[in-house]
Structure 1
Amino acid sequence: MKRFGRFAGIALVLVVAALTARSCFSHDLIVRLSDRKEISFKQMMGDLRKVAVIYVGEVHDNPDHHVLQLRIIRGLHRAGVPLAIGMEMFTAGSQQELDRWVAGQTGTAAFQRIYRREWNLPWSLYGDILLFARDKRIPLIGLNVPRDITRKVGREGFASLTEDERRKLPPNITCDVDESYMAMIHRSYSSHGLSANTFRNFCEAQMLWNKSMAYHMVEYLRKNPGRTVVVITGGGHAIRGGMPVQVDRERPGLSSRVVLPDPVVRNGRIKAEEADYLWLSH
């Protein structure tokens, strides 16, 4: 989501040194966080092919991030990995419309109207991914919940929802996050200039996003166990403390990787526990 903005980073010294070393001949800088080593895109892809879920974070309005997402999707498809693409940009309620698009039953102009109803950023940012999914018959998964629900939770808290509104949501949404993720939510909250007495509601809205997207993705994998899901979502949801930890609670042991593009320094560095790969274009 935009509210999380550009949040993740790596030590400046590491970035500057690596960029200097590669400035003459490379377009990719990928850092494997487990050992802080620079690796190639091909090496990263070799690892991504082995797992069930790949979270590729983004700053929503950064075109380069969507280029990276499509490169990963193309690479996995070319390698014969049976794929699905989970998208924050669509609600679970739009699933039938997504299925018709992938099946070639909806024209581009009509689907663009559906897209604009679901998401408020230009089609040009996501169009190539959505067209590739249609052309290659890669299933799309609507992960999100309706915006009016998350707005209500953000204003009044999860307890304010009616029984009907809760019917298709995970139960008992609370602000149960680790210290690092809580600090990130606090920074995002502060950047919105909101009053201190509504922080818990704001946090519950973020948990509603993360837990709902986790629930919908796990449900898809339960019905389609042979698929690898590439999750396209904002960086604040892709980081381990966001959506991935909720997936781990729903489906313990499910293998996954987190790829964060173009990180912005956050307190100097990002930990290996929070992501697996950092990608910077230069």
Structure 2
Amino acid sequence: MKHFLFIATFILTSFIVNAQSRLKAYQIFDKDGKEVTFEEMSKALSTYDVVFFGELHNNPIAHWLQFELSQSLAKAKDNNIVFGAEMFEKDNQMVLDEYLQGFIKEKTMMKDGKAWDNHSTDYAPLVNFAKENNIPFIATNVPRRYASMVSKKGLPALEELSKMAKKKYIAPLPIEVPYELPSYKEMEAMMSGHGMSGQAKNFVAAQAIKDATMGYSIVKGLKKDNKGKLFLHFNGNFHSKNHEGTVWYVTKYNKKLTSGVISFVEQADVSKVADENKGNNEFTVVCTSNMTKTF
């Protein structure tokens, strides 16, 4: 009887373990490809000046981990933390602040602040956590109309803007574009392959104006009352993977700031980081590619 129970228990345990393995949603890896826990990742990231969470915009696991990381880092830093996001443009900072201060309702903030379509499910938890804990939340991205101008006419078009627009809503001109960065070369090749070779560099420049403005906003956001705090920034993975894009500009504007990068990717196999997803990110979160989407 004992022998039978042992065999039955072994079979049941094996079944549970195999089922859990098949249903594993994600796994976190460090720069060396070693599996780490969420707690280990959070502890390591708490030592940086700036932390980038490079998300996939429609992945619910990414958004859940962002919320968990926000709480974890806020606790570790005794709320000496600043949030910022690609999802809010600089000309909407006042609207965002009015919501954080309780002057307007969320519905008004979403409409007047041009919140993304998935705000309610994916970014509202982050904003509301900041509101409840009196954490600054900075709108870091360039107004989309300016990025559109650059994609059509190139960087010189920005010189036509008013002094106020150039001072408040974009990174200082002239903006250096590191076209040699692998991510920018990848974008240029992709646009050229779609029959837009004549405008390919303009599209890269439009991406760069976003990255530069976000980078400058982060550096500026860590001055005065926020000096010495940790800046947690939420953005698409392409903007920060391998310390390129926005991270490159943070370093350009302040070489003393240290940056920790999370790259979020999807793969059929979450047991290791695929070669095409390896890089010099501090951490890579590998999520199963059949994960449901948020919109």
How far apart, CA to CA, are the structure 2 residues paired with 1:267 and 1:47? 23
**Does 2:70 align with 1:73?**
yes
One-letter amino acid matched to 1:82: N
Closer, same or farther: CA 57–107 of 1 in aligned 2, 3 Å = same
How far apart, CA to CA, are the structure 1 residues paired with 2:174 and 2:122? 34
Deviation at 1:125, TM superposition (A): 2.2
Q: What's 2:14 paired with?
A: none
How far apart, CA to CA, are the structure 2 residues paired with 1:65 and 1:190? 31
Deviation at 1:78, TM superposition (A): 2.6
**Does 2:34 align with 1:46?**
no
Larger Rg: 2
Closer, same or farther: CA 261–28 of 1 in aligned 2, 3 Å = same
Deviation at 1:68, TM superposition (A): 1.2
Q: TM-score, normalised by structure 2?
A: 0.79
Contact 1:174-1:204 at 8 Å conserved across structures:
no
Where does 1:221-260 land on structure 2 (aligned, <5 Å)? Answer: 221-223=222-224, 224-239=226-241, 240-260=243-263
Closer, same or farther: CA 211–43 of 1 in aligned 2, 3 Å = same
Instruction: Give the 3-state SS of the residue equivalent to 1:226 in structure 2.
Output: coil
Where does 1:211-230 land on structure 2 (aligned, <5 Å)? Answer: 211-223=212-224, 224-230=226-232
Q: What's 2:101 paired with?
A: 103
**Aligned residue pairs: how many?**
258
Q: Which digits, 9 at most, give the CA deviation of each residue in 1:235-270, with x for residues without a partner?
A: 111221110011001010211100012345999334
Closer, same or farther: CA 160–25 of 1 in aligned 2, 3 Å = closer
How far apart, CA to CA, are the structure 2 residues paired with 1:172 and 1:264? 39
How far apart, CA to CA, are the structure 2 residues paired with 1:188 and 1:59? 19
Q: Which digits, 9 at most, give the CA deviation of each residue in 1:205-240, with x for residues without a partner?
A: 011000011111111102211221110011111221
Q: Which digits, 9 at most, give the CA deviation of each residue in 1:62-105, with x for residues without a partner?
A: 22211111111011123224111111111112222222222222
Contact 1:181-1:241 at 8 Å conserved across structures:
yes
CA RMSD, 1 decimal? 2.5
How far apart, CA to CA, are the structure 2 residues paired with 1:255 and 1:269? 25
Structure 2 residue runs of 5 or longer lacking an equivalent are 1-17, 289-295
In terms of mean alpha carbon deviation, does 97-106 or 211-220 score higher? 97-106
Q: What's 1:197 paired with?
A: 198
Structure 1 residue runs of 5 or longer lacking an equivalent are 1-19
How far apart, CA to CA, are the structure 1 residues paired with 2:23 and 2:238? 31
Closer, same or farther: CA 157–113 of 1 in aligned 2, 3 Å = same
In terms of mean alpha carbon deviation, does 99-108 or 182-191 score higher? 182-191
How far apart, CA to CA, are the structure 2 residues paired with 1:72 and 1:214? 21
Identity %: 25
One-letter amino acid matched to 2:198: N
